Amino acid sequence: MQQVPEFDMSRRDILIVGAVSAAGAAAPGLASGQETVAAPVVGKVILTINGTARALEVDLRATLLDVLRETLKLTGTKKGCDHGQCGACTVIVEGRRINSCLTLAVMHDGDKVTTIEGLGTPGDLHPMQAAFVKHDGYQCGYCTPGQICSAVAVLEEIKAGVPSHVTADLNGRPKVTPDELRERMSGNICRCGAYSNIVEAIGEVAGVKA
């Protein structure tokens, strides 16, 4: 009777061999030394950026922030935390401020987008930009574009009667007060700590003493 040869393999060895075999079967390109990369899926969108309509082909996974910065070279909008926590990427879309790092560009087909470049120019500053300069509402300046875009939208929110968490009378119209401005601007972080100057700048544009 022929004897069956013995194999000296531990349970750990068997598991390793099985895992390698499964990986090779699932990824033949990797097993043969070829790198496999998924091709990007591209979509067409039309965005009106700072008053100019732009027809774009974008990766469906691309954020609005990355399209603004990388495709359109509008680098005034900053990438900070890239998680929607710092507000440096704030832009105005259809009259509302949003964190552009948290939204896909393809979600805004047909929308009007205003970035810091669309608010004013060095020779013709937006009143909010001029107020930030006057009141030193910045230090390093990295968060400033997002702060200004957010500030412009904040005053429009108050004008439209949109309440905040500190609005005392929800049946009345909110007023421009330091507490209102601080609450509404709380999503825009300034690591340099220019908050009081920012409130003063916004208050001046609103015509009140902050």
Per residue in 2-60, pLDDT (tens digit) is 554 454 556 666 566 566 555 555 555 555 556 666 667 889 999 999 999 999 999 99
**Considering Cα of 198, then 200, then 203, then 205, what sign does the dihedral take?**
negative
Q: Which pLDDT score, from 0 to 100, does residue 4 have?
A: 46
Domain containing residue 77: CATH number: 3.10.20.30
Mean pLDDT over the full length of the chain: 88
Task: Report percent pLDDT > 90 for the chain.
Answer: 75
- Which residues in the chain belong to E strands, given as ranges? 42-49, 52-59, 90-93, 96-99, 112-114
12 Cβ partners below 8 Å, 6+ apart?
none
Of 96, 119, 142, the one marking the end of a domain is 119
pLDDT(183) > 50: yes
198 domain residue, yes or no: yes
Q: What distance lies between CA 104 and its chain's CA centroid?
A: 10
In angstroms, the CA 56 to CA 72 distance is 9
19 domain residue, yes or no: no
pTM value? 0.80
Give yes or no: residues 104 and 129 share one domain.
no
3-class DSSP assignment, residue 104: strand
Per residue in 66-80, pLDDT (tens digit) is 999 999 999 999 999
Give yes or no: residues 128 and 174 share one domain.
yes
156 domain residue, yes or no: yes
Q: Structural domain tally of the chain?
A: 2
Residue among 145, 143, 129 nearest 204 (CA): 129
Q: Which pLDDT score, from 0 to 100, does residue 171 have?
A: 87
209 domain residue, yes or no: yes
Of 69, 98, 119, the one marking the end of a domain is 119
Give yes or no: residues 99 and 164 share one domain.
no
Domain limits for position 182: 120-210
